[in-house]
A and B are shown apart, each in its own frame.
Chain A
Amino acid sequence: MEQFGFFAQEEKIFTVSDINKLIGGIVKAVPDFQDCWVSGEVSKVSVSMNGHCYFTLKDNVSEMRAVVWKSNFNAKIRGLLTQGNAIEAHGYVSVYERGGYYQLTIDSVRTKGRGNIYEELEKLRKKLAAEGLFDEEKKRPLPRIPRTIGVVTSPSGAALQDILNTLRGRWPLAEVWLSPASVQGDGAPPELIASLLRLYELKPDVIILARGGGSAEDLWCFNDEALVRTVAASPVPIITGVGHEVDFTLVDYASDHRAPTPTAAAVHAVPSMSDVLAELGGAEQRLDRAMDSIINQHWQALDILEKRLFTQSPETKIQNEKRALEQMTARLKMLRKNYFETRYAALDGLEKRLLALNPENVMKRGYAFVRHQDKIVTSAADLTAGDRIGIRFIDGEKSALVE
């Protein structure tokens, strides 16, 4: 200790924290460390009580610490972080100063070597779309009531049970032809193709191609080009139900109908029994109504015929003649009445005019007329002195002598 004391004034003494802080700063200053993909093999995975995932990423030579915070630790990442799995992880490198080590903080993980797999998938999708495999006009309507339903899925998967339960509940009249195939891994596409081709020969009314949910890797076989081409070439309408609502695979584009889940695919494949029962009830009602209406029509036709028959009967003819006769008599009576009434009225008029001309009416006003030798005198020149005349008044006659 003494020996070194001499130099102590010249030497800079760091604390552990200083060192760690300095290294932290250096690491932070490297842009590549802030946004990088690191490939390696997963080992020593552990999940803390808080839900964060710690593991070691290693290659043939070295290893480094890695962490996925709880907020990023989703089902897809959880699935990929299994012992020995080769992955590519994205995140940033930082120094944990308290522990004096550096680590990779990860926000996304993919299977190693699949870096541009999504680009390739998009390229394949565009190529097949350009060939017309996904054309809307190619999509066929599904049969409303299929008798036979081909199902291609794993015989041991939950998807099959979901499909069968749905069909049992909705439309148990259907017959299911199960053409089993494995639905995961590299061997899946040829098996799926063989199962589809088996059904294409038997030609059920509709085919369901289904698989339950899983990671994008699990569902990847449904993007296989040969499988997609086989789906597009189906001789019968085909429904896909692969994964969950959010999952889209290329077979979904090639099928006639894409359902979000296997259950939804089964729902689309068949009508609901309650709907069809209601329709049956409706058909029976229409049948009853049509029969009622037909019977009514016949009653009406019968009524009309009966009426026509009645009008042709002798009794009706006599009645009609009688009625005509009565009408004629009435008209005759009327004519007679009119004849006399007009004449009475004319007579009345004449009488009134006659009365107006009665000379007495004039005499009442003080006029008198003169008679000589039984002739009415109308001129003074007709009389000479000495003539005896009669003067006729309204109430009597007096004689007089003309002077």
Chain B
Amino acid sequence: MNEETENKETFESAYKKLDEIVTKMEKESLDLEAALKAFEEGKKTAEQCRKMLEEAELKLKDLRQAEND
């Protein structure tokens, strides 16, 4: 039970954030400054998602062993 929640941002939350940013930029008429900020954040989030995917390794936790620990 030690290595969970080591980074707060999970893939799902990052992915959801990216989706929201893209939708916002497509649907709403943002002023230029807000758009640039959203764009930058979107790019960063996409990169973060990709990095998470590429670096992921399946974690396996045996609950029976964990109980005995």
Q: Please report the C-alpha to C-alpha distance between residue A195 and residue B64 in the assembled complex, in whole angstroms.
A: 9
The listed residue (B4, B36, B56) touching A172 by CB distance below 8 A is B56
Chain A residue nearest to B63 in the complex (CB): A179
A-B contact pairs, 18 of them (CB 8 A): A145-B12, A147-B10, A147-B11, A155-B64, A168-B58, A172-B57, A173-B52, A173-B53, A176-B58, A176-B59, A177-B61, A178-B62, A283-B19, A287-B42, A290-B26, A291-B35, A294-B32, A294-B35
A283 and B46 contact, CB distance less than 8 A: yes
The listed residue (B18, B50, B61) touching A178 by CB distance below 8 A is B61
Interface residues of B (CB under 8 A from A): 4, 10-12, 15, 18-19, 21-22, 25-26, 29-30, 32, 35-36, 39, 42-43, 46, 49-50, 52-53, 56-64
Which chain B residues border A322 with CB–CB below 8 Å?
none
Q: Please report the C-alpha to C-alpha distance between residue A155 and residue B65 in the assembled complex, in whole angstroms.
A: 11
What would 20 more interface pairs be, CB under 8 Å, given A280-B50, A287-B43, A294-B35? A145-B11, A172-B58, A175-B59, A179-B63, A180-B63, A198-B63, A276-B53, A277-B50, A280-B15, A280-B18, A280-B46, A283-B19, A284-B42, A286-B25, A290-B25, A291-B39, A294-B25, A294-B29, A295-B32, A295-B35
Q: How far is the CB of B14 from chain A (nearest CB, A)?
A: 10
Question: A174 contacts the other chain (Cβ, under 8 Å)?
Answer: yes
Which chain B residues border A273 with CB–CB below 8 Å?
53
B62 and A291 contact, CB distance less than 8 A: no
Question: A298 contacts the other chain (Cβ, under 8 Å)?
Answer: yes
Q: Please report the C-alpha to C-alpha distance between residue A283 and residue B50 in the assembled complex, in whole angstroms.
A: 12
The listed residue (B11, B30, B64) touching A173 by CB distance below 8 A is B11
A178 and B11 contact, CB distance less than 8 A: no
The listed residue (B4, B12, B53, B64) touching A180 by CB distance below 8 A is B64
Chain A residue nearest to B67 in the complex (CB): A198
Which chain A residues border B25 with CB–CB below 8 Å?
286-287, 290-291, 294
Q: How far is the CB of A169 from chain B (nearest CB, A)?
A: 9
Q: Please report the C-alpha to C-alpha distance between residue A277 and residue B49 in the assembled complex, in whole angstroms.
A: 9
The listed residue (B4, B21, B59) touching A287 by CB distance below 8 A is B21
Which chain B residues border A175 with CB–CB below 8 Å?
4, 58-61
Q: Please report the C-alpha to C-alpha distance between residue A358 and residue B43 in the assembled complex, in whole angstroms.
A: 102
Q: Please report the C-alpha to C-alpha distance between residue A277 and residue B56 in the assembled complex, in whole angstroms.
A: 13
Q: How far is the CB of A338 from chain B (nearest CB, A)?
A: 56
Q: How far is the CB of B18 from chain A (nearest CB, A)?
A: 5
Which chain A residues border B56 with CB–CB below 8 Å?
172-173
